[in-house]
Amino acid sequence: MTENIDKIFIDINESIKSNYSTRNIELESIEKILNAWSCWKNILTDDAMHTKNSNISSILCFESEYDTKASIDLALSGYFKHANICLRSCLELTVMAIHFETNYGGYVQWMMGQRTPSFESVIKSIFNRALFKQFNDLTQFKDEISDFHYELSGYMHGRGHIYLNISMKSPYDEFDNWFNLIKKVFEFSSICIFLQYPQLKIDTFAKPDKEKIVELLSDKNRKALIKVGVDLS
C-alpha cells in the first residue's frame, strides 16, 4: 500500500513538471504574486516608518510571504493539499494582522502563544470598521472571505476525498484549482490591507510596488476600493 502511495506522488510530480511548458501564463502569474508580497512588505514597513501606524502588518507580511513560497514549492511538487493549507495560513495571518492593528495587547498575547482568536471573531471585528462596512455594502466581501476561508479549511481538516492528497482529480485539475486559490488569497489579503490603510504614505520609489499589487486585483474590487476612498494611485 505504501509503495502504491509513493508511486502516486511520484507520478503527480512528474506530471506537473512535464506540464510546465504549457503553463507559462500561470507560472508568470505565480511569480507576480510572490513579488507582490515582497512589495507589500516594503510598502508597509515604509509606511510604519513615516507614520504612527504600528508595524504589525509589515511583520506578519514576512510570514505571509514565507507561506506563499512554501505553497508554491509544495504545489509544484504535487502536494496540493499541503500547498492549500499554507494558503489558509497566509490568509489567516493577514486578517489577524489587520485585527491586531487596533488591539496591540491582543497581539502581544498572541505572539506569546497565550491566545489565538478564531477567524470568525476576527472577521466580525474588522467588519465593524467603517471602511470595511462600506466596501461590504458594495461587494458582500464579508460573506465571500468567510466562505473562502471555510473552503480552505477543508484541506486542513480533510473534509471529504476532494480535499485529500489522493483525490479523484487529475494533477492538472489540482494545479488549476490551487492556482485559482493562490490568486484569491493574495487578492483578498490585499483588499483587507488596503481597507485598513486607505491612504498609505508611499515614497516615489515605492510607487511601482503599489502598481504591481493593484494589477493583481479584479476590476470589480478595484472599482469598489476606489469608490470607498482607497487611494490606489
pLDDT digits (tens, 9 = 90+) for 83-106: 999 999 999 999 999 999 888 888
**Banded model confidence at residue 8, pLDDT cuts 50, 70, 90:** very low
pLDDT at 1: 42
For residues 84 and 56, the answer to whether their CB atoms sit within 8 Å is: no
Cα separation, 144 vs 149, whole angstroms: 9
Report H helices in the chain. 2-18, 24-50, 56-75, 80-100, 104-111, 119-126, 130-139, 141-157, 171-196, 207-214, 219-227
Average pLDDT for 43-49: 77
Highest mean pLDDT among 61-70, 202-211, 214-223: 214-223
Average model confidence (pLDDT) across the chain: 84
The answer on pLDDT for 220 being more than 90 is yes
In whole angstroms, give the CA distance from residue 82 to residue 67: 11
Amino acid 89: pLDDT: 95
Please give the model's pTM, rounded to 2 decimal places: 0.86
Joined grid coordinates for residue 230: 482607497
Domain ranges of the chain: 26-227
Cell numbers linked to 129: 470598521
Out of 24-38, 126-140, 202-216, the most confident range is 126-140
DSSP state of 46: H
Residue 127's pLDDT band (cuts 50, 70, 90):
very high
Q: What is the pLDDT of residue 102?
A: 86
Top-confidence residue, 80 or 187: 187
Rounded-to-10 torsion of CA 40, 187, 221, 128: -80
- Pick the more confident residue, 219 or 63: 219
Checking if the pLDDT of 169 tops 50, the result is: yes
Residue 203 has pLDDT above 70, yes or no: no
pLDDT greater than 80 at residue 17: no
Report how far residue 39's alpha carbon sits from residue 4's, in angstroms, rounded to the nearest whole number: 43
The pLDDT assigned to 58 comes to: 77
